[in-house]
Each structure stands twice: as C-alpha cells, then as structure tokens.
Structure 1
C-alpha cells in the first residue's frame, strides 16, 4: 500500500472529495428539477390552485443529506426546469435563492442520520417549516420586485397559499421520506456528513 507523504500529493488525493460534491449536486438537481418539471404539467390542484407542490418535499431532504451541495443542486435543478420550458432564470434571482434556503436551513439545523424520537420529529418539522418560511418569503419578494405582481396579491394570496402547498406539504411528507430513505443514504455513503468537509 502506497502512503501519501508529499503535501502536494495529499492535496490531489483530497480533491477526490470534490467529485462527491458534484455527485450530490447532480443527484439533487436531477430529482428536484424533474419533480418541478413534471408538476408543471401534472399539478395536484384543487380547482385552479396547486394544493401540493411535490418538489417542496425533496428540498429539505437534499439539504439534510448533502448539505450545501444538495442545496446548490436545488438551484441547478430549478434553473434546468426553467430552461426546458423556455423561462428566463434571470427574472427569478430571489426565487432561485429561495430554493437554496429551503434545503440549506434544514440541512444546517438538523444533523442527525434519522428520526429517533418524537422530540426529533417535532424539531425536524420545525426546521423544515423554517426553511420553507425563508424560501416562500423570498419567492413573494421576487414576485413583487422582479415580476411586478401587486404586493397585496403576492403576500395575501400567493405567499399565504404557499404555506399550504409548500410548507404544509413538506412538513407532512418530508419526515416520512426521510425516515424511509435515510438509512439507505447512510449505508450507501451518500449522507451529508461526507459532503460538509
């Protein structure tokens, strides 16, 4: 077995970590972007209002599993989904930052491999809601500042409904998916602890 003694060689070996970071970004971007794209065409609606936003379920999970790299993947995935349908991402800077925050806030606050107790579950839901709150505020600001939507519509209608379609959806389904998938993610070596260093 060859030992790496030269500091320069050590640096080259450590650069292998960046490949895992890219894997985290790609996985997050593909799944998140595909979920957004599909939900554009098959939205789960009550009348004309989207009742459930499936991508919101994945956003906190990728932040928890992959840290900052998963959160970056959310932004990349959203940009890709916009480009595919002919939208201009430059019009949505705060909305793209919102995607990042929906993953980053829970990712930095919940550092456990799984949900072990009711206390964990309550805290998990709290950090998911906090990330969704930060994200939905940024989306509403994007509507007002860049898309010129009247403030009363952005805050009174769109933002208020996002608390159901995004926040409530994530609070209900993200813990279930986390409990189901995290053991697999940990055993596969794809858990966030591998991506923070």
Structure 2
C-alpha cells in the first residue's frame, strides 16, 4: 500500500494511524502551551493559583481523542517542563495525574455532545472524579518525591487544587465542550471509540 493511501485509510504499521498521531500532537501542543503560559500569567489569590486553565482542556482531549488525547496531556506537560528547565523525572505521579485528567472522563463519556440534562450531569461527574483522582496523585507526588510536609500538602495545597483544578474544570469544561462538540464531530476529529 502506498504511503498516501495508508494515510487516507488511516492505516500504518503496528495499529497506530495518522489520526492517532494527530490527536496526540494536538492535545500535547494545546495542553503544553496552556501550562507554559499559565506559569507566566498565573491567576492567583495570594500565592495560591485559583485558576488552572489547563484543567479545562484535559477532560476534553480525553473525551474527544480517548487514550491518545490522554497521552498527549502527558507529552504536553513534559514539553512545558523541559522548556522552563524543570526535570520531569521528579514528577512521575504528577505526570500520571495529567493522563488521569483525560482518561477518566474519556472512558466514562463517549458522546460527541450533550443530548439530555443527564448527559451534562454524567459529563460533570466524570470530570470531577478524574480531577479528584488526579489531584490526589499530584499531592502524593509533592509528599513522597518532593518531600513537602504532609500537613501542608493535604491541609492547604490539595484543598486549593479542588478550586483551581476540579471546580474550574467542572464549570468551564462543559461550556467549552458544548461550544466545540458539534465542530469536533463534523470535522471527523472525535474518536467514537476510546482506543480510536
């Protein structure tokens, strides 16, 4: 099969197609750029980041692109770390958290839009569960790998992540999803199956 024909049919070696790669790259670039920019323009209350914009996009890429979008979240975060001189090896659980932010909503909600009010509730519930699990992983990373005091992490940092990540995503992700879902579906970018 000629390469052009393989791209057209979505077939490549080892079961990975061009659209899997495109989905991963789109997720990585948008998510990574959002993290990178939020490092320089943080929306803070005192020293606490109140709004973490990347949390808004994470569930969407998991829902639109399934496991490939979730993988893109990790790649995007790694790239944003490297660009600012951070060592990704210090953040294994935090990187897993990025994957979970997309994975949980992506596996729980496989529709291209909202058809009923129950769909919206299910969407928000999936986003919240994914964010809570992800923030637990980030908190564990802070305690175990970075050796921050557990009482500070669980008493201050983790509760605030429920505002900056969980609440932010629960409020804004459904709005962005409702706005973009029709476009994603019509463009053929939406993966109906979680594994693509």
Q: TM-score, normalised by structure 1?
A: 0.91
The reply on whether 1:144 has 2:143 as its aligned counterpart is yes
Match of 1:14 among 11, 17, 25: 11
Runs of 4+ residues over 3 Å off in structure 1:
none
Contact 2:107–2:194 (Cα < 8 Å) also in 1: no
1:144-183 map, 5 Å: 144-183=143-182
Q: CA deviation at 1:115?
A: 1.1
- Aligned Cα root-mean-square deviation (Å): 1.7
Contact 2:24–2:69 (Cα < 8 Å) also in 1: yes
**Distance verdict in 2 for CA 1:176–1:23, change over 3 Å:** same
**Distance verdict in 2 for CA 1:85–1:157, change over 3 Å:** same
Q: Distance in 1 between matches of 2:183 and 2:78?
A: 28
Contact 1:21–1:195 (Cα < 8 Å) also in 2: no
Match of 1:97?
A: 96
Unpaired stretches in structure 2, ≥5 consecutive residues: none
Q: CA deviation at 1:192?
A: 1.9
Unpaired stretches in structure 1, ≥5 consecutive residues: none
- What is the aligned residue count? 188
Q: Which has the larger radius of gyration?
A: 1
Match of 2:29?
A: 30
* SS at structure 2 position matched to 1:193: coil
Q: CA deviation at 1:91?
A: 0.2
